[in-house]
Chain A
């Protein structure tokens, strides 16, 4: 299991130390609180995954803490610690939503097992919660879509956001890499500080260093005043470096040093400054390939590739295409003062069948163009000419056998598949690709024919 945070709320120092020593081997982050107020403060400061709670605290009733925690988003599973005489209270706590209770005295193995189960329970509850929320709202943060590949993306974002580990996002252009980086920032304990995004491919090479680190007056021609860089603005927050593979190697070395030491130098300045930054990097191509080609430093790559996050291309997201298209249609219709309320079924078929090489950004442009250039309540297929031109040609009636005899569909299918395999010189893989089915489907069908 990944590193999790466990909060121990216990007013007896020796009992708290017992829990701490027994849980340390699990490798989780342990937080200690002696009072209810302290516990609530710690719960507000950072995400907590499991809470060990003594019900009798000096300043407040443990049950009140339990109620408070349950009302929070993504609450930790709580294990109540009790001395045997107050078992009735422990049972009351479970009724109020505590995950389990431990009766003092307990063995180390009992404690670690209970905490591990509680952590698994938290994980599962959060997974279900993400699922429920995305289905309810058709999306997550600024993402629209509830397809299975996107559910995975949302879960990774939620899990990674709580830590300060670097995240490396990959995905074709237009898949929403910056949205993902923003979501990571907004869900993190750094949300109160700034999110700074830089596109390394869009900034002129000789300006990139001073854009990231800043410069002092006179550092180079045109540097007429001191200038703070992205590093300073993102201090305490998140720095998103898009198209990292476009950064020249010398600067990659400086960036690596910055990540390793948490210190950087403004251009032209002789002293280092500290910055506490969470790094999120992205490339639209395979970063491992960039490393092989020598465009991305291997050590920098591994430093940043702690949590990989791959965004699926739009064509793999099924019905998400329609959810997104409808949202764009509503938004653009409102902006442009048009009456569009939806797509025709034929237009939806076109949207679903298209390959979307430019992903969501392309879908956005296609819908915007259609809205701007046309009028009406329904956006139909004739208003999407680029998609219609790319659509596969439907089988024409002339290609059908001229006779009037109707054959069994299964026979026609078998004949046509065998025909395709012959045309492809017996190569089933090629035939399957051209037929738009998987090779295993052909093998399965062949088995069926052999059995007939």
Chain B
């Protein structure tokens, strides 16, 4: 599940809410910036960047991305490459769904 529609319904009144759409428009470039930062960050900076991405993802109900960011946030050093790969996949899927019109379409 990419998006938690129940949560989006409860907290925003639905995926078509104007405020929600406004926040999504900021979330998309923010997620891109954080992805780039994670790609070039040293190990010490990773948990905080992952934490920020997780918070931003939870806020818009992007469940799978939030979970992937949470894994990276707490990953042991040897697990970091795998966690980053999983995060990349989740980000790709989430951003693609948003580009296609956002939550509500993907189920």
Q: Chain A interface (Cβ within 8 Å of chain B)?
A: 11-15, 17-18, 21-22, 54, 56, 58, 83-86, 104-108
Contact = CB atoms under 8 A, between A and B. Distances in A.
B58 A104 contact: yes
Contacts, number: 58
Given A21-B23, A104-B58, 14 more contacts: A14-B59, A15-B56, A17-B22, A17-B23, A17-B26, A18-B19, A54-B55, A56-B48, A86-B51, A105-B11, A105-B58, A105-B60, A108-B12, A108-B19
Interface string B1-42: 000000100111000000100111011001000000000000
B51 A18 contact: no
B19 A104 contact: no
Contact of B52 (A11, A18, A86): A11
A58 to B, nearest CB: 7
A107 B11 contact: yes
A217 B50 CA distance: 67
Contacts of A84: 58
22 contacts: A11-B52, A12-B30, A13-B26, A13-B56, A14-B23, A14-B24, A14-B30, A14-B60, A17-B23, A18-B19, A21-B19, A21-B22, A56-B48, A83-B51, A83-B54, A83-B58, A85-B70, A104-B59, A105-B61, A106-B11, A108-B11, A108-B12
Interface residues of B, number: 22
A107 B48 contact: no
Contact of A56 (B10, B22, B52): B52
Contacts of A15: 55-56, 59
Given A56-B51, A58-B48, A83-B51, A105 B19 contact: no
Pairs A-B, 10 closest by C-beta atoms: A14-B27, A12-B56, A107-B11, A14-B26, A104-B58, A21-B19, A83-B55, A15-B59, A14-B56, A18-B23
Nearest to A82: B55
Nearest to B34: A12
A22 B30 contact: no
Contacts of B55: 12, 15, 54, 83, 104
A54 B48 CA distance: 12
A22 B19 contact: yes
B83 to A, nearest CB: 15
Contacts of A107: 10-12
Contacts of B48: 56, 58
